Amino acid sequence: MAYLDDRIPEGIFSHTASDTVARIVKKCEELGIVCRVFPAPLHKLRTFLHPATEDPHDDSISLHPSDLIQWAFNENLCHNGVFVNIDADMLLVNHTDINDLMRGRAFRWLPQHRGCGIARQDRNVECDIRYAWNTILAMDLSVLPNLDEFSMDCGKVCVWEGCDAVDTGGKSHWFISSLPEEMKERFYGGEFMRERGERMFPTIPAWRSSVFELYEEKWLHVRNGGHSDPENLNRFDNGQICEHLMKQFEVI
């Protein structure tokens, strides 16, 4: 099953074809994949998916990923298997399977990190807020406890030492912190490809492919978005880059 975000177009700048969602839905039909499209108006009703959400309650494209992931997760809570979230700029470029993906763990993630405001003022104060990056996330729903407490909402997280603002997935800090260490494992790697990127992707400018990240020799992360900033349109247009990559790997 695939989930797509039918984003409200205001504020998004991209050379990517405007019918991309429709094209992906058509490809899903051809491949026999159930493809669900997030209803864009729900982005304006954040408390529907995140009842305990904090300000801002208004719609913002920077909050959209948390809405889509929470919606997909909630729909799959009764699924007795592995729930995987892969962001649009993360591409599978090598073979994998569920066993390889999970590596004997129930929760695999890429951590985002925040430090409390007081820690930025006083380096002697240790404050560590870690949460799931929406780039790639894998959860074995048949094993993990307290799934009703999992939240990909953003807002603010407060620990003993203080508080800090968090983006998409920030509220997953509490769920992840509650898991025994033996149940979870980070995805390893993430090195910039540098000269290797130029060799692998000759049709993409070297300055761009050099900052791709490769995780576990199979997950390629196309770094540096910018669809909400018209000044970044030519430099950081992930849509065009992904179309080059999809042709190379025959994704579509």
Span 153-168, pLDDT tens digits: 988 888 766 777 788 8
Q: In angstroms, rounded to a whole number, what is the distance separating the alpha carbons of residues 36 and 250?
A: 22
- Grade residue 225 by pLDDT with cuts at 50, 70 and 90: low
pLDDT band for position 233 (cuts 50, 70, 90): very low
- Which range has the worst mean pLDDT, 26-40, 45-59, 88-102, 107-121? 45-59
Q: Which residue carries 């004997």 as its tokens?
A: 104
DSSP 33-59: --EEEE-GGGGG-HHHH-TT--S--S-
Instruction: For the chain, report the end-to-end CA distance as a whole number of angstroms.
Output: 17
Top pLDDT among 166 and 227 is at 166
Mean pLDDT of 23-39: 89
**pLDDT for the residue 162:** 72
Mean pLDDT of the chain: 80
Residue 15 has a pLDDT of 52
- Mean pLDDT calculated for residue range 183-197: 89
Q: What value does the mean pLDDT take over residues 228-245?
A: 57
Q: Taking the complete model, does pTM exceed 0.85, yes or no? A: no
What is the distance between the alpha carbons of residues 69 and 152, in angstroms, rounded to a whole number?
7
Helices (H) and strands (E) in the chain, counts: 9, 12
- Asked if residue 204 has pLDDT above 60, the reply is yes
Cα torsion at 26, 140, 182, 129 (round to 10°)? 60
- Going by DSSP bridges, is the β-strand pair 219-221/213-215 parallel, antiparallel, or unpaired? antiparallel
Q: If pLDDT is split at 50, 70 and 90, which confidence band does 49 have?
A: confident
pLDDT of 175 above 70: yes
Mean pLDDT check: name the lowest of 136-140, 196-200, 225-229: 225-229
Q: Mean pLDDT lowest for which of 12-21, 40-49, 57-66, 197-206?
A: 12-21
Q: Are 90 and 221 in contact (CB under 8 A)?
A: yes
